[in-house]
Structure 1
Amino acid sequence: MENLQYISQGKTPEAHLRNIMKVCEAGGKWVQLRLKNAKPKDQLKIAFLAKRICDRYGTRLIVNDNVMIAKKLDVDGVHLGLKDMCTKEAREFLGDKIIGGTANTLEDCLMHIKNGVDYIGLGPFRFTSTKKQLSPLLGAEGYQSIVKELRQQGHKTPVFAIGGIAEDDFAELSGTGVSGIAVSGILTGKDKEDIKNIISTYHTVFRTESV
């Protein structure tokens, strides 16, 4: 599993697709389609088009929240928030597809691990305007504490930092024990060369094997 995830962003569904295309063209290998306010019919259509783009570039595609779309379009998986379908139920419904779960605390992480998730999106690192009803901020110390406790308990589930991450944060986060990061704003709206450079910087700083 690639350890840098792009969470799609855009003012319109079409903007999401344009941003996904640029990330794929720049070498991004993992995209989460996150359409929060679109109608169900539009979500299915955009997910279908996003899958075509990602398939063209060999990029992994998961969808946010919607297990039905994940199943119907046979995308790679789904990411679920704490208020979405239980990750255990999603596993029963989607089988061996990738399932990620949002977490803010150690308890959240342990719940997801018990439910058999493939990765945990732990955050937020700092304030982000892309998410409403933001959970308490973790900062680098929060990640270090939670990941250390998980590893001491013998849990190996990959933990991804998420929430307001900037390029200047890569080095700090690489020392916390997280397996990778999920980003949105730092890639959205950039041109292909800028995106390519940010992706290259990430891999240089983290120097981690894909998880």
Structure 2
Amino acid sequence: MIDKLHYISQAAQGGSHLDAIENVLRANGKWIQLRIKYQQEPGEDPNNLEQHILESAIAANELCKRYGAKLIVNDYPWIALRSGADGVHLGLSDMPIPEARKIVGSKMIIGGTANTFEHILQRIDDGADYIGLGPYRFTTTKENLSPVVGLAGYMDIINQVKQAGISIPIVAIGGIKTDDITALMDIGLHGVAISAALTNHTDLFKKIEYIYNQLQEPLP
């Protein structure tokens, strides 16, 4: 089952991605996407970054298992596999889903980013288990941002999805704030992916409980 609340990791203020992930897990977050982005310096060995992400993914997976949550690794199918994660999420410019499926096998969850209805059709054809549709608004957490979809764009795309009889879970991503959730759910989206609105919040228990209520889903 694809949870309705996806936490996209950021480094906590004065801490790490793992610190932020554990904070969310302690507050009953149940779906974690480890998303570590890093600007590589000229001449730097790219393997250093991937080794760091692998080590972080292994540690994040241990945390998720302790709290009964699922871990999704952004971008790297082989890291998702080696870390024991539950899934991998692939952007539009990342490895094609069919190629990733050959690496991770038939049982691992694969999510795919989409920006248009045509992307959704392609993701379904490629075998995605869920889709992250966005960005909802401009966000500084992602480089090379796709065109902003906005509320009207979501309404148009989800209407096309309904008319086509498509039932794949579609999660709103990109700059989502808690005040956006009710309107997005009313359109017919499955859920939301949130990053900054959770990373440094001071009372995550109340925040996550409030979000699950907005998602029309009881707290796990």
What is aligned with 1:20? 21
In 2, Cα distance between equivalents of 1:26 and 1:106: 34
Q: CA deviation at 1:91?
A: 2.1
In 2, Cα distance between equivalents of 1:161 and 1:126: 10
What is aligned with 1:64? 74
Q: Following superposition, which runs of at least 4 residues in structure 1 exceed 6 angstroms of deviation?
A: none
SS at match of 1:10: coil
The reply to whether residue 203 of structure 1 matches residue 181 of structure 2 is no
Which string of whole-angstrom CA distances, capped at 9 and with x for unpartnered residues, describes residues 125-179 of structure 1?
Answer: 0011101111111111111111121121111111000011111111111111110
**Would you say how many aligned residue pairs link Structure 1 and Structure 2?**
208
In 1, Cα distance between equivalents of 2:215 and 2:54: 35
The reply to whether residue 29 of structure 1 matches residue 40 of structure 2 is no
Paired amino acid for 1:101:
G
Tell me if structure 2 keeps the 8 A contact 1:20–1:31: yes
Q: TM-score, normalised by structure 1?
A: 0.93
What is aligned with 1:145? 156
SS at match of 2:146: coil
What is aligned with 1:74? 84
What is aligned with 2:43? none
Change (3 A) 1:16 1:123: same
Paired amino acid for 2:141:
T
Q: CA deviation at 1:107?
A: 0.9
SS at match of 2:16: helix
Please report the RMSD computed on the Cα atoms of aligned residues, expressed in angstroms: 1.9
Gapped regions of structure 1 (runs ≥ 5): none
SS at match of 1:137: coil
Q: Percent identity?
A: 45
What is aligned with 1:106? 117
In 2, Cα distance between equivalents of 1:197 and 1:141: 30
Q: CA deviation at 1:198?
A: 1.9
Tell me if structure 1 keeps the 8 A contact 2:114–2:132: yes
What is aligned with 1:54? 64
Paired amino acid for 1:199:
I
In 1, Cα distance between equivalents of 2:162 and 2:102: 26
Change (3 A) 1:149 1:208: farther
The reply to whether residue 8 of structure 1 matches residue 9 of structure 2 is yes
Paired amino acid for 1:50:
A
Q: CA deviation at 1:204?
A: 1.4
SS at match of 2:112: strand
SS at match of 1:207: coil
Paired amino acid for 2:216:
R
Gapped regions of structure 2 (runs ≥ 5): 39-47
Q: CA deviation at 1:208?
A: 4.5
In 2, Cα distance between equivalents of 1:74 and 1:19: 20
The reply to whether residue 160 of structure 1 matches residue 161 of structure 2 is no
In 1, Cα distance between equivalents of 2:210 and 2:72: 24
In 1, Cα distance between equivalents of 2:169 and 2:102: 20
Paired amino acid for 1:64:
N
Tell me if structure 2 keeps the 8 A contact 1:161–1:181: yes
Tell me if structure 2 keeps the 8 A contact 1:125–1:140: yes
